[in-house]
Structure 1
Amino acid sequence: MVGLSALQVKNAKPGRHSDGHGLYLVVREGGSRSWVLRVQANGKRQDFGIGSAKSVSLATARAKAWEMRTRLEAGEEVRPKPPTPNAVATIPSFAEATRACHTAIKSGWRNKQHRETWLTSLEIHVFPHFGESPVDQVTSLMVRDALHPIWLKIPETARRILQRIGTVLDFAHIQGWCEHEAALRSVRKGLPRQPPDDNHFAAMPYEQLPAFAAKLAKPPHSAGRDALLFVILNASRCGEVRHATWPEFDLEKALWTIPAARMKMRKAHVVPLAPASMEILKRRWPLRHSDTGYAFSSHGKRPLADMTLLKLVRTHSGQKFTTHGFRSTFTDWAAETTDHPKEVVDKALAHQLADRVEAAYRRTDFLERRRQLMLDWAEFVGKSLERRQ
């Protein structure tokens, strides 16, 4: 069963909406939203309130539901009790908190390799440094010292590990093990700047993307800024957008059909367009020079140069990120923060499956599932845009 998405939680209509494993989002007629865990306990069905959806996120609700189910299965009482005088809370070690966090969130990852490497990377590179330390005593300096040996040696892995440490510390905070939320922004400032990787496209960390997109969307608009934002919103290859012509777009159905001749794998690719992408096209349409010309061009006769978009990326980010790297940013976001299956993400990227047998059986294009994926992605990218508006 596929659970709820963040967008579904936000737009759910009155009623009871299942996320799976007994967790429900209850939306009342007045608009209030709350989380409820329904389980069989002591021979009868019982509901346990987890909190308001306004203050408890989907990820947090899942973590709390997992903790409640685990305690109930062990025969523990989960309903609140008056605090015992002089009681001292037991704080787990960072390693224990990491394994608890991994158990709570791994069910949302369809990629088996990601489930395994997520925990293994911390066991290998972090636990030897502060795995036995109480999780509430982990500091930015400890994190910096743990990452320093691998920061330049395996830069991409090191960045992922930093994100995962932050996830564990956030989990520890919602569990009540850490008094304050994780503050790891200073860690990068204590590490050397990573050089460009000759074998990979330099990708912007997804946490930085909403603020970057807000800069691009700020007037005055231009063909280059619109094209780059369109690249980001659709996780497209730069050339696919630069050479896009108006006949490829179905503005009524919000679809973009890229011909096989322009695709890397020489197979036509249909892209479901989120409202944010449609707004860009509707803004470009009155500026067109012909109904068959390039959608992102100053004069409609020649496509934008690749360097035009790359210059925008580096001017507005101040770093040597690449345009193609936004596809990696999208992949990291989907794997780290959503429940979308890897096969749907791969299809959105128009990736070819390495296993030909698997590819032969998987002939669906997941169009509607990709539409939801791109809606969630556009919502994430547009967070800063909403605040600006």
Structure 2
Amino acid sequence: MKIISPLTQKAINAAIKKQKKKITDGYVKGLTLMLVRQSYKWRLRYKLGKKDSYYTIGDYPTIGLSEARKIAQEIRNLLLKGIDPNEYKRQKQIELKIKQETKTFNHFANQFLVNKKKGVTKSRFKRNYLGTYIHYIQPFIGNKKINEITRTDIIEIIKQVPKIKLPNATRSTNKTYKAKEVLQVIKKIFDYIINLGLLEYNPAFTIDVKHLLPKEEKTKMKAILKPNKARELYKKILNIKTPTVKKLLQFQALTGLRNVGLYRLKWDYVDFEKKLIIYPPKTYKDNQEPFRMPLTDTLIEILIYFKQIYPVYTFKEEKLQEDSFSSKLSKYYREYLTKEHNPHGWRATFSTLAYENQKLHNISVEAIELQLNHKVGNKVTRAYMRSDFLEERRKLLEWWEEFLITF
């Protein structure tokens, strides 16, 4: 009796190179890779009663060896129960068609949105998912059956995005940025439908927005690197008439903190007596260790002002979401200061000018980098470097404030 060895990837490659018409696997009984009209397909030979039959598993290499064996074994399990796999497949296809014809895209989109709502912030869900679906997707394909929606339908949606005018819209009419978001939401909904076993192919797959719409022209946000420009901007901050806005933007300009550092800062982290902020692990971006930040007299004055306003968080109400907080900061810059600079730009400004003026302040590179919460050196260096240069960084912040107010 001829013993058939289990297939290997190497054996498959060699057989295909020689264009063998049939390659048999010795691991799962009846599993073969057959050449059919210039392409290879996985098939399982089986016998139910006296008749030999074939079940087509799928194309190679779309279905690899391990997956083909898994499917073949599942079919073998059906045979043990006396079920004809081809008849079972036909029945499933009929059931699937009935489900597809009775449920619209809207039905599954709503299911997807309910699940998505649990995993993102309220503001992000409303803006990036629910709003995107209601305004840009639902009107076009919401009432269509899922198996009727084509790639052409989705392409047409993308082309329509720039033409859709929403009330209170703040963006320009060139909405390439929004078209990308719309496409992503459509893709994710179809992926959800595929995972339910109701479709086998995502019609949004491989569609590229940049080939359908002109590239969006954006106003480039620049970090202000020139000393006089940095001083002019800081002076504008000091001249803002609304105290809460002025002091919030002033605090960020003087510290180089990220938006997330302002957003997550709680009074529990502030030690007025030691003139210090201590962010616990995972509270300032993804810091693994506590991040200590020194405070100057001006920074303490700002904190004392906000202590009278907010009970838990230093710069915000408890219910305010992170996305909304960052948007608010950017809005302040557009309304009070400039459209060519954003809050995060102070970090690059601080870093560049601190390095350029190192001979004046004589503060170490390590102190500058640690103030920005950057990692210094490699793993070995960090393992032996126990200091966070706190007092040196305090002097750096005092120099920085003096630098910004000196004309």
| TM-score > 0.5, shorter chain as reference | no
Highest RCO, 1 vs 2 (Cα 8 Å, sep ≥ 6)? 1
Query: Which range, TM-score by smaller chain?
Result: 0.3 to 0.5
Rg larger for: 2
